[in-house]
Amino acid sequence: SQTIHQWPATLVQPVGSPLSLECTVEGTSNPNLYWYRQAAGRGLQLLFYSVGIGQISSEVPQNLSASRPQDRQFILSSKKLLLSDSGFYLCAWSQLAGYEQYFGPGTRLTVT
Amino acid sequence: AQRVTQPEKLLSVFKGAPVELKCNYSYSGSPELFWYVQYSRQRLQLLLRHISRESIKGFTADLNKGETSFHLKKPFAQEEDSAMYYCALTTGSYIPTFGRGTSLIVHP
C-alpha cells in the first residue's frame, strides 16, 4: 500500500535561517506531488505541485521554493525564513490529475 | 477560475441532531468534488467523493449541478464526528481547489 512521510514533525527556526522540509512517498510511481500551507480559517493554500522529476509549478510567489530530485521525493526549501513563514505545511500526492489526494502528517514550522 | 465556498467556519450541534455542512462551488465545466476530514491529531484524509455516491461513516453528499452545491449531510451526529471538514474541487488540471474548511463540534 502507499504511504507518505514528512519530516520533521515540528521545527523551530530563527528568522533568516534556511529551511528544508522533506516528503517521500512509498508504494507508487510517478505520483503528482503537492505542498500546501494550512492556516486556521484560511483553508489549504497550494504552494507548489510537481508532475515529474525536476518539474515544479509555483502557485504563490513567496519566500519558498520546492524541488523534486527523485520520483517520490519532494522538498520544500527557503534560503532565509521570515516570521510569516510560520505555519503548518502539508505534503500530498495523487495518482492522476483530478483524483483524490493523500496527505502526509504535516510539519509545524515556527519561525522566531 | 474555480472557487469553493464553505460559508460556515464553525458548526456546533448536539449529539443526535442532523448536520449539514455547506459547500458551493463555481466552475463552468464538470467538476470532481470531494469532502476531506481532519480529526484532532490525525492526517487530513478523504471522506467521500461524489462519483462514488457512497455513504461513509453515515455521511452523504449529493452533487447538485443546478445549485452548484455539494453539501455534506448526516442525519444523526455523533461526538466522534467532531473534526475539520474541507470541501474540494478538481478538474482536469493538476490544481485542486479547497474551501476554507468548517469546524464541526458535536456536543454530548
Per-residue pLDDT tens over the stretch A44-84: 899 999 999 999 998 886 789 999 999 999 999 999 999 99
> Which residue bears the cell 478523504?
B46
A9 part of contact set with chain B, CB < 8 Å: no
What pLDDT is attached to residue B86? Answer: 96
Query: CB A32 to CB B32 under 8 A?
Result: no
Query: Higher-confidence residue: A66 or A1?
Result: A66
CA B9 to chain centre: 12
Burial class (CB in 10 A: 0-12, 13-18, 19+), A61: exposed
A96 part of contact set with chain B, CB < 8 Å: no
What pLDDT is attached to residue A61? Answer: 65
Q: Quote the percentage of chain A above a pLDDT of 90.
A: 78
Residue A2's pLDDT band (boundaries 50, 70, 90)?
A: confident
What pLDDT is attached to residue B101? Answer: 94
| Chain A CB contacts of B88 below 8 Å | 101
User: B33, B49 in Cβ contact below 8 A?
Assistant: yes
Low-confidence ranges of chain B (pLDDT < 50): none
Which is nearest to A79 in space by CA: A4, A23, A9, A17? A17
A26 part of contact set with chain B, CB < 8 Å: no
Which is nearest to B104 in space by CA: B20, B24, B44, B42? B20
Q: What's phi and psi for A85, nearest 5 deg?
A: -80, -10
What pLDDT is attached to residue B31? Answer: 85
B 32-91 residues with CB < 8 A to A: 32, 34, 36, 43-46, 49, 86, 88, 90-91
Query: Of B45, B90, B101, which has the smallest distance from its Cβ to A43's Cβ?
Result: B101
A41 part of contact set with chain B, CB < 8 Å: yes
What pLDDT is attached to residue A31? Answer: 93
Burial B7-22 (b: 16+ CB within 10 A, else e): ebeebebeeeeebebb
What pLDDT is attached to residue A24? Answer: 97
Lowest mean pLDDT among A10-14, A35-39, A86-90, B52-56: B52-56
B28 part of contact set with chain A, CB < 8 Å: no
Query: CB B46 to CB A44 under 8 A?
Result: no
What pLDDT is attached to residue B59? Answer: 95
Query: CB A103 to CB B101 under 8 A?
Result: no
**Best B6, B21, B44, B98 residue to mutate vs chain A (most A CBs within 10 Å):** B44
Distance CA B9, CA B60 (A): 20
Which is nearest to A15 in space by CA: A67, A64, A83? A83
Q: Where is A77: in which H helix or E strand? A: strand A73-78
